[in-house]
Amino acid sequence: MKLVWSVALYTALGLCANPGVAGPAIEELRDGSLKKLVVHSEPKPVAEAGFESFEGAPLSLADYRGKVVLLNFWATWCAPCRKEMPALDALETDLGGEDFQVVTVATGRQPAAAMRRFFEEEGVTALPLHRDPKQALAREMAVLGLPVSVLIDRDGNEIARLQGDAEWDSESARAIIAALIADGES
């Protein structure tokens, strides 16, 4: 398993050594549930609408410029969200840092206690609890169902989107994120 991960990582790094190759490299690395990841032919600006921290502090996607971001929209009542949240947590635990972050945003009216309970029940410890109570960010980003995950490059542009749950802790997901991180370092 470790050998497969190493091969995928080095393949990703090699394919993304040239920034012009990032799109095709991501498409070639998609496997399993990540085949649902739709890679845009051109980066798209992300929404400017704000959201908030669990404590109510104002946030925006501009706060994450300079990092590759996997933005995940979820809700406490969403069964597929519950299924994928531990995988997102594992991805953040393994790859999160200066270059990459998973940003989770509970959209709609989500009671604080229910949000905390959701994370506790799923054993989520590394992900932030953010919310979009009036769905301003979700609406501006055309989120029509849940979960939705959006890959955002270091410049703050949407480069890919996945509707539905995915195995974000898979080797395919890790290779895609590693490729995007490497792309920004070249």
Structure tokens at 71: 């933005």
Of residues 38, 23, 42, 47, the one with CA closest to residue 164: 38
In terms of residues, how long is the chain? 186
Output the DSSP codes for 76-133. TT-HHHHHHHHHHHHHHHHH-SSSEEEEEEEESS--HHHHHHHHHHHT--SS--EEET
pLDDT of the residue at 19: 41
Domain boundaries, the chain: 35-167
Q: Which residues of the chain have pLDDT under 50?
A: 1-21
Task: Please tell me the predicted confidence (pLDDT) of residue 24.
Answer: 54
CATH 3.30.530.80 fits 35-167, yes or no: no
Taking CA 133 as the corner, what is the angle to CA 130 and CA 139, rounded to the nearest 5 degrees?
A: 100
Supply the DSSP symbol for 175. Answer: H
State the pLDDT at residue 25.
80
Distance in angstroms (rounded) separating the CA atoms of residues 26 and 39: 7
Beta strands 38-45 and 130-132 are unpaired
